[in-house]
Amino acid sequence: MRLRHVIATLTAGLAAATTLTAAGPAAAQPAHLGSNARAGHACSSTVSIDRFSDALDKTTYNGTFVGNFSALAVERDGSLAALEDRSQLFDLDARTLQPKSAVHLADENGADLDSEGLVIDRDGTRLITSEVEPSIRRYSRDGKILDRLPVPSALLVAPAGRATANQTFEGLTLLPGGHTLLASMEDPIAGDSADLVRFQTWTRTEGDHFRLAAQYAYRIDAGLGVPEVQATPDGRLLVLERGFTAGVGNTVRLYLADPRHATDTSGIENLTGQSGVRVMKKTLLADIADCPSLGATAKETQPNPLLDNIEGMAVTGRDRTGRLKVVLVSDDNQNPVQITRFYYLRVRV
């Protein structure tokens, strides 16, 4: 979502009445460092940060701006795919982050996308969301459209549906086994409670097409939305929640959510907290503001100078202790007071 500063300015009067610490549940449990966690790098009892990198901040590649990152994914060769929300998909060296290639994406009419979610499928093709319609298209490695997935009418942007522009499919992930695709809405649709967003799934069919499947409700913290979601190896979800308050800065929290026992809400017209609807259970893993700053600096006011507009996330593997290795990236919106920053976490789930 690229308009956060505009939206934050328009809502600053309301935002000033609250603080970031008031927006949501209690913090994650304090860290109890074990032999595998290095002192000073703990964000919580389950999350630590190894390092961060600003290597790509305000850089270009073959004349193309490098930034505006909205999603990350791991390529089959181990490199990192980084999606811009302005129709560019970069292939990055996993160690240095230096771009190796860039592919321009477009819709069926040749228009740019507001590209937000990314999955590298098992055959190397790319599943990419655009949050304008919203849509999910399959692209070849060289950017040709191969397929387009169905979207429930209620999740389309008004007036076609009940969603708000720039607040639709921000996150995209394949569940273990590769048979189920899941997309997360950033914010609620009209008619639903202000704290409930919908996660839509699709089931893989013959020929690697996908058909609509179950839908789940996820409860967001006050003032936050969902910019990204990633599946864990056991079928649960890492969920980022994010918000911005002018003059205060960003809130970014990492949750573990479980869709496996949640109610299928695809047949429920309005989610209003009614009885009998089980939302996804979620557990706070870490508030990123609680991470050590590691010497980071910020170009605008932040509760922790490490923070920026974190929007992308990828699980890149496990370490020797079984913790997930997770990379986050911020979307600088091509704004001089924001930073393109990569964050390297270890997460115990």
The pLDDT tens digits of the residues spanning 201-213 come to: 999 999 999 999 9
Q: Could you tell me if residue 164 is inside a domain?
A: yes
pLDDT at 26: 40
pLDDT at 1: 57
Of 155, 154, 187, the closest CA to residue 11 belongs to: 187
Structure tokens at 260: 């496996």
Q: Could you tell me if residue 201 is inside a domain?
A: yes
pLDDT at 198: 98
Q: Could you tell me if residue 123 is inside a domain?
A: no
243 CB contacts (<8 Å, ≥6 apart)?
20, 23, 221, 223, 224, 225, 250, 251
Asked if 302 and 244 touch (Cβ cutoff 8 Å), the reply is no
Of 253, 245, 247, 250, the closest CA to residue 219 belongs to: 253
Asked if 344 and 292 touch (Cβ cutoff 8 Å), the reply is no
Residue span of the structural domain in which 235 resides: 47-68+148-347
Q: What is the pLDDT of residues 44-67, one digit of tens each?
A: 999 999 999 999 999 999 999 999
Q: Could you tell me if residue 275 is inside a domain?
A: yes
| 292-327 as b/e: b if 16+ CB within 10 A | eeeebebebebbbbbbbbbbbbbbeeeeeeebbebb
Q: Could you tell me if residue 88 is inside a domain?
A: no
pTM, 2 dp: 0.90
**Residue 126, strand partner residues:** 120, 139
How many angstroms separate the CA atoms of 51 and 211, rounded? 40
Please give the angle made by the CA atoms of 262, 266 and 268, to the nearest 5 degrees. 95
Which residues in the chain come in under a pLDDT of 50? 2-38
Structural domain count, the chain: 1
Q: Could you tell me if residue 130 is inside a domain?
A: no
Q: Could you tell me if residue 243 is inside a domain?
A: yes
Q: Could you tell me if residue 172 is inside a domain?
A: yes
pLDDT at 36: 33
H or E stretch at 311:
strand 310-318
